Amino acid sequence: MSDGAPVEITVNGSTVAARPGELLIDACERTGTYIPRFCHHPRMEPVGMCRMCLVEVDTGRGPALQPSCMLTCSPGMQVDTESERTRSAQDGVLELLLVNHPLDCPVCDKGGECPLQDQTMTFGPGESRYVEEKRHFVKPIPVNTNVLLDRERCVLCDRCTRFADQVAGDRLIHFLERGSRTQVNTFPGEPFSSYFSGNTVQICPVGALTAVPFRFKARPWDLEEVESTSVLDSVGSRISVQSSRGRVLRFMGLDSDAVNWGWLSDRERFVFEAYDHPDRLTGPLLSGGAAGGQDPKGSTQVSATWADALGATAEALSGTDPDRIAVLGGSRLTNESQYAWAKLAKGILGTDNVDAQLGDGLPVEVLLGLPRATIDEACTPGGTIVLLGPDPKEELGSLYLRLRHAVVHDGATLIELTPHATGLTGIATHSIRVLPGEAAGVVRSMFQGGTGDVAAAGAVISSGGPVTVLWGRTSLAETDGLVVDAAMALLEHVPDVGFLSLLRRGNVHGALDMGMSPGFLPGRTTLEASGDKFENVWSCLPGETGLGCVAALEAAAAGDIDVLVLLGADILADLPDHDLARRALEQAGTVVAVDLFVTSTVECADIVLAAAAPTEVDGSFTNLEGRISVVARGSSPPGTSRPDWMIAVELAERLGTDLGFTSLDGIWSELASVSAVHADLSLNLIRASGTEGLLAKGQMPLAMPPVTEVPDATESTLRLVVTRSMFDNGVLNAHSNALAGLAPGAGIRVEPSDLDRLGLEDGSTVEISGPRGEHIAEVVASTQVMAGTAHVLFNQDGLDAGRLIDASMPVIDVRLVKAR
Amino acid sequence: MGYFSDTNQSLALEIIGRYPRPKSAVIPLLHLAQEQEGWVTREAMLQIADLTGVTPAEVLGTGSFYEMFKFHPVGRYMVNVCTNISCQLLGGEELLDHVESTLGAGAGDTTEDGMFTVEDVECVAACTEGPCFTVNYRYFHRATPGVFDEVVADLREGRSPIQRGAAGDSGDMPEHGRLGRVRQEIPAGRRAGVVPPEQAGEQPVWLSSTAEVDTSG
């Protein structure tokens, strides 16, 4: 859009260079002349609804009032934004808007940050000539459980409805009763059930749309604001954390050009409520056994001092061999905390049984060895996006909005290779259903021997434009090797292909960069390739590659792990294989949980260390592109809970050594000395990088991974597909009032023809038998799933998908029979 | 389960096939729904949304712009009395008073027997013939209370009052919702079907005047 020579226009007597195709309102704002507006939003198509941006424009036919949001700059345009006629037009528009808009600013949540209020003060007439009664509506009405609508405040700017249509694609709010009674509303009984509804509150230029979690909580002028990053998923959306009197009261999306464009999913936006929940851990807990009593393991946990809890942890850690210690989880942590824990585990304790991924991730050597794409590269206008992973709409909401924009508005071509329909299926050029285990074969047939859609998709990919593969685990019920094989086949056939990982969990990419996986060290390097960089800084290095999450838990279940440290890892809920998690927790020696809440997993721990939440710590975050941005504290940790890196520092001290740093800057200077990826970075540079953050670059040499063998599918069984949805029973979801009720629950979904073949009916109760025994559930007919598969949502009420999964099998085949 | 009757369902599919995009059929289908039940029900809008690939909110948002789509139950006969300036000067308000007191229903209300809904309407573009009223959008010019009483008597007794009206012919008075006496029929051979403009290749069948067309239906 910005290609070509600049367009010279005159604004209030000064010459201004506009970009080719730029709207007048944007060109003026960029060059320092603000034109008031309500409907115009830079991330959406202009509509010219509100007329607030009328300015006097002369394009050679004499000056005339024109809406600057609908006018593309043309050479020689003479613009006057301060003329008498412009002023009078602004007065008139505001007077008309205020005919019906109530002057309830003192009790309105928007008061103090309201564009209508501000612009009336700046540009408006100050007095109204109207004495007539204003419009009245029942107020407020919920458009969904989190967003309230006060219709009499609405100025019909079309921002929320355009967002629903153009950005989210959920056209569930609309102008109704157009004419003198126009209002925004939903269809009766059909709420605005969009994953992105909170954005409409953020862009509403008046107080018509308000969010339940913030309504009447604080006045805008009482809010303190820090720029931070959402650590809820791996997109790392930039946010503004806003708090008052020490409590975080809301998150707002920041417009980061490279990442989230100001948008947030409702999960990212409303999760802050969980951090403020009264169930938060306020200090350490010790179970009876760990406190020195005679009680058996898993008995009641009681409050303890940090001295006792850290002492007990250090005692457990120092009393065993390094290879009998495992440290799992860590995606919640900031980069700095991850480095501290990685150093504690590998550089002091000497164990390599460290894994931030919980059996649902990707092999690190492949992830770090593939050419990595950025979100912008994936969304290149006219490029091709290949989805070989989970549904971005369900798992990485703000990435989904970027992808949707690229396809719908920027002419990108989307090809999806998934076992079920996704949120992107409706806009995909080729939507190819792939049975778990057959992805690599389908990819190869795209380039050779395929027919129909498969061949057509291959032709698009081979046509020469930029290609980005979004790759991740399409199903939690299949092994990671399968998607790796498919990714390798794409790498082989597509020159210059880029890969963007869809690993979803928080700062998991930071954890991988910090070496929180077996065989790895900070800086995207392996134990073998580390050279001597670590020798002077770390007191030891693990002798050989340790166990990954699943292997470590299997070892624990076999009684071979004496200390199991869980860094925010709720393995009973989050590990795909629930049976393994349960056995590991039962058989592990001492279980140490560093967490925010007493989750079902933490209940099984002997020692519980209370950590600070992401809104309570300073530091940095690494997103799925490798982009590092700032995390900043908006409130204090409850009780004596503290940042994870401090816990690591204190544990090191109890172990009689020293981690070598006592501040974030100390961590960074050490990190920069050992990690080539972070060598030129510091926390100050990241802070100074603004909304866009800094991209950490560095690719490892790629070794060809082994090929995974898959058994053939059989007629009598269905292949299990397990995926996550935006809202589930995860601990943060469950502790946020706004999100708690939104989890959809799980049944087992089967394609209608399979139901017929198996003699089952929609809604009937079935017995599911697979490697983990028999389970009863309701079967639902769905055309969204692929024939030959059975689809279950993970971590929901109803059928527990984690009890169907055996992590040791490449794919899971289940048999469905009618329950007696 | 569909909302439309079998006949209307196949008609609905035929109507959708008249447009390059299914969405364009929303308003014709709202007419069809109103014809089926006298007003546009919630179920009808859900069904239309389903048939045309839009959301129910878009169907309601589109339909509720139009005064003549009714989203609440109305009587079999819609009596609209004009009280705009020309009719008002010639006795429109007195006529409305008479209508309301005779039928026992105020403007906006429906009689208890479900026969009549009374509305006070804006100009119906018959200013030279005021005062005037319409029944199911059939005009009655230079109306007096007496004419209105005769029209009501006709309808209550099952006769058509059409010959008293502006058209002056002897047709039936249709029930509320019915659009016209003749339904548009597009022969199968002239239906282009749903083809988005950007995908349209050759000239559509309804444009090719030389094409052999089967007009038998």
Taking the C-alpha atoms of residue A523 and residue A526, their distance in angstroms, rounded to an integer, is: 9
pLDDT at B202: 75
Rounded to a whole number, what is the distance in Å from the CA of B142 to chain A's nearest CA?
Answer: 30
Q: Which residue, of A483, A501, A519, is where some domain finishes?
A: A501
Taking the C-alpha atoms of residue B37 and residue B52, their distance in angstroms, rounded to an integer, is: 20
Task: Name the residue facing A178 among B42, B59, B64 (closest C-beta).
Answer: B64
pLDDT at A298: 52
**Chain A partners within 8 Å of B54 (Cβ):** 171
Rounded to a whole number, what is the distance in Å from the CA of A601 to chain B's nearest CA?
Answer: 42
Task: Name the residue facing B57 among A177, A178, A187 (closest C-beta).
Answer: A187
Q: Any idea what the CATH number is for the domain that residue A766 is in?
A: 2.40.40.20
Mean pLDDT is lowest, of A144-153, A337-346, B169-178, for B169-178
Residue A286 domain-assigned (yes or no)? no
Share of chain A above pLDDT 70, in %: 98
Cβ <8 Å between B55 and A187:
yes
Cβ <8 Å between A187 and B65:
no
Cβ <8 Å between A174 and B42:
no
If you write DSSP's letter for every residue of B94-159 in order, what string do you get? HHHHHHHHHHT--TT-B-TTSSEEEEEES--S-GGG-S-EEETTEEE-S--HHHHHHHHHHHHTT-
Res. B216 pLDDT band, cuts 50 70 90: low
**Chain B partners within 8 Å of A187 (Cβ):** 45, 55-57, 59-60
Please name each of the domains of chain B with its CATH number: 6-71 (1.10.10.1590), 77-164 (3.40.30.10)
- Are residues A496 and A512 located together in one domain of the fold? no
pLDDT at A296: 47
pLDDT at A747: 87
Q: How large is the angle between the packed helices B42-52 and B6-16, nearest 10 degrees?
A: 40
Res. A290 pLDDT band, cuts 50 70 90: low
Residue A677 domain-assigned (yes or no)? yes
Res. B20 pLDDT band, cuts 50 70 90: confident
Residue A290 domain-assigned (yes or no)? no
Q: With contact defined as beta carbons under 8 Å apart, do A329 and A567 qualify?
A: yes
Q: With contact defined as beta carbons under 8 Å apart, do A461 and A453 qualify?
A: no
- Are residues A681 and A730 located together in one domain of the fold? no
Cβ <8 Å between B61 and A190:
no
Q: With contact defined as beta carbons under 8 Å apart, do B35 and B78 qualify?
A: no
Q: What are phi and psi of A225, to 5 degrees?
A: -130, 130
Q: With contact defined as beta carbons under 8 Å apart, do B196 and B20 qualify?
A: yes
pLDDT at A347: 95
Residue A168 domain-assigned (yes or no)? yes
Residue A11 domain-assigned (yes or no)? yes
Cβ <8 Å between B64 and A187:
no
- Are residues A743 and A776 located together in one domain of the fold? yes
User: What is the ipTM score, two decimals?
Assistant: 0.90
Mean pLDDT is lowest, of A293-302, A653-662, B140-149, for A293-302
Rounded to a whole number, what is the distance in Å from the CA of B145 to chain A's nearest CA?
Answer: 32
- Are residues A722 and A659 located together in one domain of the fold? no
Q: What is the pLDDT of residues A583-612, one digit of tens each?
A: 999 999 999 999 999 999 999 999 999 999
- Are residues A356 and A225 located together in one domain of the fold? no
Q: What is the mean pLDDT of chain B?
A: 90
Q: What is the pLDDT of residues A349-403, one digit of tens each?
A: 999 999 999 999 999 999 999 999 999 999 999 999 999 999 999 999 999 999 9
- Are residues A566 and A651 located together in one domain of the fold? yes
Residue A413 domain-assigned (yes or no)? yes
- Are residues A266 and A337 located together in one domain of the fold? no
Chain A residue whose CA is closest to B71? A177
Q: Any idea what the CATH number is for the domain that residue A469 is in?
A: 3.40.228.10
pLDDT at A292: 54
Q: Any idea what the CATH number is for the domain that residue A541 is in?
A: 3.40.50.740
Q: What is the pLDDT of residues A422-434, one digit of tens each?
A: 999 999 999 999 9
Provide the CA A524 distance to its chain's centre, in angstroms. 23
- Are residues A456 and A398 located together in one domain of the fold? yes
- Are residues A459 and A353 located together in one domain of the fold? no
Share of chain A above pLDDT 90, in %: 92
pLDDT at A623: 97
Residue A709 domain-assigned (yes or no)? no
Domain count, chain A: 5
Q: What is the mean pLDDT of chain A?
A: 94
Q: Which residue, of A645, A670, A690, is where some domain finishes?
A: A690
Q: What is the pLDDT of residues A713-746, one digit of tens each?
A: 888 999 999 999 999 999 999 999 999 999 999 8
Cβ–Cβ pairs < 8 A, chains A and B: 37
Q: Any idea what the CATH number is for the domain that residue A76 is in?
A: 3.10.20.740
pLDDT at B170: 78
Task: Name the residue facing B57 among A171, A177, A178 (closest C-beta).
Answer: A171
Taking the C-alpha atoms of residue A10 and residue A8, their distance in angstroms, rounded to an integer, is: 7
Q: Which residue, of A501, A534, A561, is where some domain finishes?
A: A501
Q: Any idea what the CATH number is for the domain that residue A210 is in?
A: 3.30.70.20
Asked if A84 is an interface residue toward chain B (Cβ–Cβ < 8 A), one would say: no
Cβ <8 Å between B61 and A175:
yes
Taking the C-alpha atoms of residue A199 and residue A400, their distance in angstroms, rounded to an integer, is: 14
Res. A628 pLDDT band, cuts 50 70 90: very high
- Are residues A415 and A496 located together in one domain of the fold? yes
Angle at A712 between CA A710 and CA A717, to 5 degrees: 115
Nearest to A22 by CA among A1, A44, A41, A43: A1
**For residue A531, pLDDT beyond 80:** no
Rounded to a whole number, what is the distance in Å from the CA of A191 to chain B's nearest CA?
Answer: 10
Residue A243 domain-assigned (yes or no)? yes
Task: Name the residue facing B64 among A177, A186, A190 (closest C-beta).
Answer: A177
Type of residue at B154: D
Q: With contact defined as beta carbons under 8 Å apart, do A347 and A667 qualify?
A: no
Burial state string for A198-218 with b = 16 or more CB within 10 A and e = fewer than 16: bbbbbbbbbbbbbbbbbeeeb
Domain that includes residue A629, residue range: 317-361+508-608+620-690
pLDDT at A409: 96
What are B's interface residues with A at a Cβ cutoff of 8 A?
A: 42, 45, 54-61, 64-65
Q: What is the pLDDT of residues A652-702, one digit of tens each?
A: 999 999 999 999 999 999 999 999 999 999 999 999 998 999 999 999 999
- Are residues A682 and A722 located together in one domain of the fold? no
Taking the C-alpha atoms of residue B162 and residue B140, their distance in angstroms, rounded to an integer, is: 9
- Are residues A428 and A449 located together in one domain of the fold? yes
Give the ranges where A296-438 is alpha helix by DSSP (H).
306-318, 335-342, 364-367, 375-378, 392-395, 397-409
Type of residue at A284: P
